[in-house]
Structure 1
Amino acid sequence: MMSKMIEPITFTVPLSFEAHEIAQQCGKQSSPKKFKQVYLNTLAVYAVDFYLRCMGFETDWPVSDSRNPLMLKLMDVADLDIKQIGKIECCPVLPDADACQISYDAWGDRIGYIAVQLDQSLKQATLLGFTRTVAKQVPLDEMNSLEDLLIYMNRIKQLKPINLMNWFDDVFDAGWQVIDELLNPKQFEFRSFRSNNALPIDRGHKIDLGMQLAEHSVALIVSLPPEPELEVNIEIAVHPMGNQTYLPPGLKLMLINESEELLYQVESRKADNVIKFEFTPDLRELFSINIVLGDANVRQSFRL
């Protein structure tokens, strides 16, 4: 009984003309057996790419081995590169199969494996679940849900440190937006790091704490001085988003060092419209920012 696979959500992707055109292109100049392998693999990657982009992740299929003609000729791969996270393997599953087959060529350099069931007509693909188990085959009823996959990928993304020195070269990580895109003027005012009337370098990231926030959304704002200095003073702030004027009471903003020690913490009160602090890390120092509300905890790591 596939209780693990049926009760959690699945996701079905229509396999459009574009999907088949890409599969045809990837499989050309191959033997009939190899053509079928590449064709089905490509449809599976197409479906996973569509799903992850719908879920807000940035993918880079063109740089993946599954779009490299030489790698496709030599190996059985269906990988998809996900920015800031890594590679995931997209394993095609035929309609009557009860297990996900994992190519030996994909046993390394993968954060996991997604089972993608293709229907008989190849008109649609259904993402069934994922596994981190490296094996020749994994029974479908032992796969983890897509919900677990999203939690897992977000955890990987949060643990990868953002290099703030890149911000001085106008190189920003995916998901970090200019302030005007996140907040209205009443929710944010520039007040720090003015030097010769120069504005700070700042970006914001929407933070989702799930049901703990009810109708509230918050933005994590990181501000740097206009130019790199011997000592870089950083301001960390959390603001309400949307139509909200105040932060939910009890929201904690924490500064954690590389040894997992709590260096600083500020907590919102009943009518706070911002919580923030400033600090000066050492060059190349790794630190993390935790935003906590009740049992929900979001972490983002940084490095100068």
Structure 2
Amino acid sequence: MNNLVQSPSIPLTLQDRQWVQRLVVQSGCQGEKLRRLIPNLLAVRAIAHWLDIYDIAYDWSSSYSTQPLLHLGEEVADLLLSGLGRLECRGISPQQQTVQFSPESWSDRLGYVVVEINADLTTGRLLGCVEQVSAAPLTKEMLQPPDFLFGLIAQAELQKAQSSVANTIENGLRTAASVIHQWLTTAQEQAWQMAEFYLLEPSFSPVRSANTIERIIDKLHSAGSEAARQRLIITLGEVVKPEDAASVVRELTQIIDQTGDEDTRWLAAGTLARIEPRHPQAAHRLQKTIGAELNLADTALNLLIALMPAPDQTINGSIELKTANQQQSLPPGTRLTLLSAENEFIDEIAVTGDQTPGKNLLKIGLTIDPGTNFRIRVTVGGESITEDIQL
């Protein structure tokens, strides 16, 4: 049981008692319900005074305890801590050894506080608190010290901060994803076509059973190399059925959030797009076949753009130039250049004449702000073509 040092005494003023009197009269409560309501409301006032000492904000107007008619049907005596949750308060007499909380207060509460109210209603002694209650009565010995309440408040503040960060990230992803989808629609009207992210073969082709997805996910968690993980991600995308979608989406988003390998992140986000195209973390890839404009005879080139939403509302981009036939090489001197909309140089990669064997892929990564326009230029010999991209 808490000792007197641990249980601070809190003066209850005439104003406190008048506030309680007005509420109980307006509530219309009588008999036993009225007998319990008065100390409970005084406990609310005592806790408010105690919180004032530590500059912990609360909201009278949104607390259930300030609504008179509510007390006719429910036994509630809460104090809403702004943005954190409700403290449910109970007042007991010095002789009372147990306290009961009614079912309507068993959930949606930050914590439960017990205050001992003296006989002349001029002092409340904060006995302690608990985080959860049930149908069983609480004895005084079961209460945590009053300082335990600071831990509950700190935990709620941390959860609030984490929720705020999560909401910011979610909003950022959705903003970026919306821009990507708008561009996908426009680009496909300009000869761009959807392209897969798969550069590897699936890890295996299992005979589907009730636990196929679980087995693949287990293998993912124990994979010994990044290449093995990537093949298993592809396998998930190949064998998933509608009934598996929720668990696979959950696994893929965890990989996107946690992996340190960029290729794995892109592959997971691209696989996610196959399952849930509108997911805010899905990556999309478009390609356009070029070559005739560059006088390459029988060599066809594919220009690819992949876009993936980022949590800060930006878009991660990947631009690739590759031969349509993987057995062919890009001509020496081929250049892939990234320019601003005003033709200012940003980045470039090229095939040099001394590269043996010849390269069949050029790739540039970039970070894009929504609303940014840029240009992609492909140059072979003395010929070049330019694609304008508007996001």
Q: Where does residue 104 of structure 1 map in the other structure?
A: 103
Distance 1:91 1:126 in 2: 11
TM-score (norm. length: structure 1)? 0.52
Q: Please say if 1:21 is aligned against 2:18.
A: yes
Distance 2:32 2:61 in 1: 24
Q: How does 1:83-98 map to 2 (within 5 A)?
A: 83-98=82-97
Indicate if the aligned counterparts of 1:8 and 1:145 stay in contact, CA closer than 8 A: no
For 2:23, give the aligned amino acid.
C
Q: Where does residue 155 of structure 2 map in the other structure?
A: 155
Distance 1:107 1:83, change over 3 A: same
For 1:21, give the aligned amino acid.
Q
Indicate if the aligned counterparts of 2:16 and 2:45 stay in contact, CA closer than 8 A: yes
Q: Please say if 1:123 is aligned against 2:125.
A: no
Indicate if the aligned counterparts of 1:15 and 1:125 stay in contact, CA closer than 8 A: yes
Q: Where does residue 63 of structure 2 map in the other structure?
A: 64
Q: State the secondary structure of the residue aligned to 1:92.
A: strand
Provide, for residues 4-23 of structure 1, a one-character-per-residue CA deviation record: whole Å limited to 9, x for no partner.
Answer: x1176222111111111111
Provide, for residues 167-225 of structure 1, a one-character-per-residue CA deviation record: whole Å limited to 9, x for no partner.
Answer: 9xxxxxxxxxxxxxxxxxxxxxxxxxxxxxxxxxxxxxxxxxxxxxxxxxxxxxxxxxx
Distance 1:96 1:33 in 2: 17
Distance 2:313 2:7 in 1: 45
Percent of matched pairs sharing the same residue: 25
Q: State the secondary structure of the residue aligned to 2:15.
A: helix
Distance 2:97 2:52 in 1: 27
Q: How does 1:123-202 map to 2 (within 5 A)?
A: 123-135=122-134, 136-161=136-161, 163=164
**How far is 1:143 from its partner?**
0.8
Distance 1:130 1:8 in 2: 15
Q: State the secondary structure of the residue aligned to 2:90.
A: strand
For 1:154, give the aligned amino acid.
A
Q: Please say if 1:30 is aligned against 2:29.
A: yes
Q: Please say if 1:282 is aligned against 2:281.
A: no
Distance 1:127 1:49 in 2: 11
**How far is 1:132 from its partner?**
1.7
Distance 1:134 1:46 in 2: 21
For 1:46, give the aligned amino acid.
R
Distance 1:55 1:9 in 2: 16
Provide, for residues 72-101 of structure 1, a one-character-per-residue CA deviation record: whole Å limited to 9, x for no partner.
Answer: 111111111001210111011111122222
Larger radius of gyration: 2
Distance 2:64 2:105 in 1: 10
Provide, for residues 114-146 of structure 1, a one-character-per-residue CA deviation record: whole Å limited to 9, x for no partner.
Answer: 010001111100111001231241111121111
Where does the alignment leave 5 or more consecutive residues of structure 1 unmatched? Answer: 168-228, 231-257, 264-279, 285-304
Distance 2:128 2:8 in 1: 9
For 1:158, give the aligned amino acid.
L
Q: State the secondary structure of the residue aligned to 1:96.
A: coil
Task: Report which of the two has the higher share of helix.
Answer: 2
Distance 1:62 1:139 in 2: 31
Residues matched between the structures, number:
178
Larger displacement relative to structure 2 (35-44 or 117-126): 35-44
What CA RMSD, in Å, does the superposition of the two structures yield over aligned residues? 3.2
Indicate if the aligned counterparts of 1:27 and 1:34 stay in contact, CA closer than 8 A: no
Task: Report which of the two has the higher share of strand.
Answer: 1
Q: Where does residue 217 of structure 1 map in the other structure?
A: none
Larger displacement relative to structure 2 (96-105 or 112-121): 96-105
Distance 2:99 2:122 in 1: 20
Provide, for residues 48-84 of structure 1, a one-character-per-residue CA deviation record: whole Å limited to 9, x for no partner.
Answer: 1111122221101221111112211111111110012
Indicate if the aligned counterparts of 1:64 and 1:79 stay in contact, CA closer than 8 A: yes
For 2:37, give the aligned amino acid.
V
Q: State the secondary structure of the residue aligned to 2:58.
A: coil
Provide, for residues 24-70 of structure 1, a one-character-per-residue CA deviation record: whole Å limited to 9, x for no partner.
Answer: 01100332433322222110100011111222211012211111122
**How far is 1:102 from its partner?**
1.5
Distance 1:18 1:156 in 2: 31
Aligned structure 1 segments of 4 or more residues deviating by more than 3 angstroms: 258-261
For 1:282, give the aligned amino acid.
D
Distance 2:4 2:43 in 1: 22
